[in-house]
Structure 1
Amino acid sequence: MSSSRIAGGVSLPDRGASSSSSKSGARGGVLSRVTSSISQSPVVYQGKRVACDAAFVAKKLLKSTGKAAWIAGTTFLVLVVPLIIEMDRDAQFTELELQQASLLGTPPSASSGQ
């Protein structure tokens, strides 16, 4: 076992000089070969490519959906909300006129009586 000396007077063993790594080297070699052959297989490559394409499409779809939601929301605020407010104001005005007419005792409109 060799050692390397660093500043401060501490000596550390070399990384490659471990006795346990030489025993497991044969198993690690087989495992690494199997892992590399699986990770380089066409099936894994196709799976990664399909997953990447699906993520890209999902991102684009989410982005365009957000833009459409923004357009629909601002259009609603600019066009529909003022219309709703005006219709509510008109309904309140009509209701007020009916209340005043009933308090003053004016006869109902001629079209409803005949």
Structure 2
Amino acid sequence: MATKPPHSSPTLRSILSRVSNSISQSPILFQGRQAASDAAVVAKKLFKSTGKAAWIAGTTFLILVVPLIIEMDREQQMNELEMQQASLLGTPAQK
């Protein structure tokens, strides 16, 4: 006579079913899912606002700082050119 494996008994199935149902209806699980959902919403809003802030910072940098850097470089080149001309003409370089 063949015996059935112990995991196929109806009592074990009903126990597993009850445990599974109690876990899926657990208030702790519900609160965990709610917290994960809330965290996802906050992360999405943070990502959007960070993108907006990065756009504002980038365009401000391009409009205000890049022309300043170009002008400072131009001024430095003019100073170097004046020093070269002064040394070629034999006059003392002015600092």
CA distance in 1, matches of 2:9, 2:69: 77
Cα RMSD of the aligned pairs, angstroms, is: 2.1
* Structure of higher CA gyration radius: 1
**In the alignment, structure 1 residue 35 sits paired with structure 2 residue 20:** yes
Alignment partner, residue 54 of structure 1: 39
Aligned residues: 90
**Structure 2: tracts of 5 or more residues without a match:** 1-7
Change (3 A) 1:108 1:38: closer
TM-score (norm 2): 0.81
Please give the alpha-carbon distance, in whole angstroms, between the structure 2 residues aligned to 1:62 and 1:24.
51
What SS does the corresponding residue of 1:106 show, helix, strand or coil?
A: coil
Conserved in 1, the CA contact under 8 Å of 2:23 and 2:29? yes
Extract unaligned runs of 5+ from structure 1. 1-22
The CA deviation at 1:29 is 2.5
Give TM-score scaled by structure 1 length.
0.69
Query: Which structure dedicates a bigger proportion of its chain to strand?
Result: 1
How far does the alpha carbon of each residue in 1:16-44 deviate from its partner, in whole angstroms, 9 at most, with x for none?
Answer: xxxxxxx5444223212211111111111
- For the structure 1 residues 85 and 108, does the alpha-carbon distance in structure 2 shift closer, same or farther, using more than 3 Å as the test? closer
State the percentage of identical aligned residues. Answer: 69
Give the Å deviation of 1:55. 1.3
Higher helix share: 2
2:85 paired residue number: 100
> RCO greater where, 1 or 2, for CA within 8 Å and sep 6 or more?
1
Q: Which amino acid aligns with 2:53?
A: A
